[in-house]
Amino acid sequence: FPVENIRNFSIIAHVDHGKSTLADRLLEITGRILKTDRNKQVLDKLQVERERGITVKAQTASLVHNYEGKKYLLNLIDTPGHVDFSYEVSRSLSACQGVILVVDANEGIQAQTVANFFLAFEAQLSIIPVINKIDLKNADPERVEKQIAKVFDIPQEECIRISAKHGTNVESVLQAVIAKIPPPNMKIEDPMKALVFDSTFDHYRGVIANIALFGGEVCKGQKIVSAHTKKSYEVNEVGILTPEEQPTNKLSAGQVGYLIAGMKDVEEAQIGDTFFLQKHPVEPLPGFKSAKPMVFAGMYPTDQSEYNNLKSAVEKLTLNDSSVTVHRDSSPALGAGWRLGFLGLLHMEVFNQRLEQEYNASIILTAPTVPYKAVLSSAKLIKDYRNEVITIVNPMEFPDKSQVSQYLEPMVLGTIITPDEHIGKIMSLCQGRRAVQKSMVYIDDHRVMLKYLFPLNEIVVDFYDSLKSLSSGYASFDYEEAGYEPAELVKMEILLNSRSVEELTTIVHKEKAYSSGKAICERLKDSIPRQLFEVAIQAAIGSKIIARETVKAYRKNVLAKCYGGDITRKMKLLKRQAEGKKKMRSIGNVEVPKDAFINVLKRK
Ligand code: GDP
Ligand code: MG
């Protein structure tokens, strides 16, 4: 294919607006798949993607289409739809010259529509607006066109109305792709330069890297080098994706396809990396960054005897997802486990769900935390650390205030789109989460777009669920990273009869310390059984107690009634009975069932 007959594009949309369905129709029209219902959402390969209707890993397909007597190679680069994967989205987009922006004719513009639009807009791509689901009874394409004109400044007439489900007008989307999206501006004569925009692991063939050729040609037998790792490899196979891998003799400038070169680990082909020929080094493509986890959680097998099985499942899953970070961890209460880092909340949930579904694992996931930072004061700096700013992902490593000139917390800019009758409730929800409103715009007569700056920590637990429930499901939410800001953070410890419980230590904002301490104490009270003496449950910041609950002791007469006789025998009996019932952990003289930790540590 001559470069002028190649188009590289992506479909972007809010979840459920019809991206996968449209992709299926495009594959059908171009003869890549047959028209049967079995092929529904061909590009969503993972079970969790099919169930949740989201795309986690990007899939790509090269389509051949005849138009006005010419043959075109249309490379559809599927992007993950969610903000957690926004780095992957922007990498996929950098392999494109244009996008199809799909908006549901009934729901209109939603939070992810906005986020995805701006990723494409900032990358200076041609944008083809498509209104989908015009077959729906409540479809109001005109209203949605007006929203698009208002929010994105795209003339109403440019919108293409389709039904991806029924195939209505889908042909004109393909025509627009050919007419409006420019061919890639890349030359075969230039040195070979390949952008890695996705990679997967195959047990037999090793890493399969999805690449976009920004110049030159690459074929089997050549020696290539990764700009990021500096390692060199011999190319075993190149080809195009249909979406199945189909080997070809070579890939050339402007094309998109896959490359296999004996890499054993997805880390060797990280998203955003550049490959070049060993004999002809080039400057790497700009903007590579390693995946940066923003949400951390502890993970433990429900039953310690499952540890080895879980370990191998985690290893297998991370083979395909280099953005999850894994560190071994252990807790006296929950046993051996890991501390995992994820790109965001959805990423964490998807990982969890895949472990359960694909590997049948039963796990305990602890409440998520975010990476805080501390700017160390100079005295501490000279003594212990080389860096002035440290990142804290484990509350036990939280440096004391005396050593710190400032604590920092990660922020995100959130976009909420909602029918206006819910504005009041949503504003108070956001205020309760320490958010600062940045803007409020009507996108049509009844719908509002709100922007808030949130501390990331305030949205990692149940924010999205609360937003959904107080708007009866109508509000949508998306966010992007917004750097770090100073925050008054404190380390809160939980004490049982004055002994600190390591796994319940948390980092909290000063304003939230009281309510969060109180909640943990109450939950613990409900799950610690009565003992022979009183148990004080306290939340403390340094030496200051901020909340307290008490588990009363058994009363003597209760004991007398039940057992009678010698008191030490009674105690032994009681103890044995308790041990039989639940696995206990002793903290000082207090016996705590494992469930108590799970109740407090678990999300929700
Ligand atoms: P994605 O999340 O953007 O990939 O959305 P999907 O393609 O998975 O579609 C979400 C849901 O909308 C599915 O149940 C589709 O069958 C349905 N859908 C997609 N396109 C249309 C359409 O044109 N009309 C109607 N009525 N439903 C559609
Ligand atoms: Mg989809």
DSSP letters, 164-224, are TTTTBTHHHHHHHHHHHSPPP---TTSPPEEEEEEEEEETTTEEEEEEEEEESEEETT-EE
- Collect all residues with Cβ–Cβ distance below 8 Å to 186 and sequence separation of at least 6: 3, 213, 214, 215, 253, 254
**Which of the listed residues 55, 110, 165 should we mutate to test ligand 1's pocket, taking the one with most ligand atoms within 8 A of CB?**
165
On average, the pLDDT of the chain sits at 86
Residue 347 marked ligand-binding: no
Q: Which among 145, 153, 110 is positioned nearest to 415, based on CA atoms?
A: 110
133 lines ligand 1 (CB under 6 A): yes
* Backbone φ, ψ for residue 477 (5° rounding): -140, 140
d(CA 225, CA 482): 34
Query: What pLDDT does 129 receive?
Result: 98
| Alpha carbon distance 535, 539 (integer Å) | 13
Rounded CA separation 563/84 (Å): 58
Per-residue model confidence (pLDDT) at position 170? 95
Q: How many residues does the chain have?
A: 604
Asked if residue 169 has its Cβ within 6 Å of ligand 1, the reply is no
pLDDT of residue 56: 45
User: Is any atom of ligand 1 closer than 6 Å to the C-beta of 500?
Assistant: no
336 is in an annotated binding site: no
Residues 6 or more apart in contact with residue 188 via CB below 8 angstroms = 3, 215, 216, 217, 252, 253
- Pick the atom of ligand 1 nearest to 162's CA: 23
Nearest atom in ligand 1 to the alpha carbon of residue 19 is 3
pLDDT at 334: 79
Give 10-residue mean pLDDT values along the chain (604 residues). Answer: 92 89 88 56 54 54 90 87 70 91 96 90 95 96 96 96 96 95 93 90 88 94 94 96 89 94 87 92 81 85 88 84 85 85 83 84 83 81 65 87 91 95 97 96 95 93 88 90 94 91 88 92 88 90 94 66 60 60 65 74 56
Cβ proximity of 248 and 64 under 8 Å: no
Q: Element (H or E) spanning 513, and its range?
A: helix 510-527
Please give the number of the atom of ligand 1 that sits closest to the Cα of 13. 3
Q: What is the DSSP string of 49-63?
A: HHHHT--SS--EEEE
Instruction: Give the ligand at the shortest distance from the Cα of 80.
Output: 2
Residue nearest ligand 1's atom 6 by CA = 18
Ligand 1: centre distance to CA 252 (Å): 34
Angle (CA) 282-287-290 rounded to 5° is: 105
Give residue 334's identity as a one-letter amino acid code. Answer: L
> For atom 11 of ligand 1, which residue has the closest CA?
16
Determine contact, residues 40/25, Cβ cutoff 8 Å: no
For residue 132, the ligand 1 atom closest to its alpha carbon is 23
Is any atom of ligand 1 closer than 6 Å to the C-beta of 163?
Answer: yes
Under 8 Å between Cβ of 75 and 7: yes
Please state whether 495 falls in left (phi above 0), alpha (psi between -120 and 50) or beta: beta
Q: Is 17 in the pocket of ligand 1 (CB under 6 A)?
A: yes
Q: Does ligand 1 lie within 6 Å of residue 13's CB atom?
A: yes
Give yes or no for a contact between 197 and 95, defined as CB atoms under 8 angstroms apart: yes
**Pair 529, 599: CB distance under 8 Å:** no
CA of 164 to the centre of ligand 1 (A): 7
What is the whole-number distance in angstroms between the Cα of residue 80 and the centre of ligand 2? 8
- Is the CB–ligand 1 distance for residue 433 below 6 Å? no
Is the CB of 15 within 6 Å of ligand 1? yes
Cα of 279 vs centre of ligand 2, distance in Å, is 41
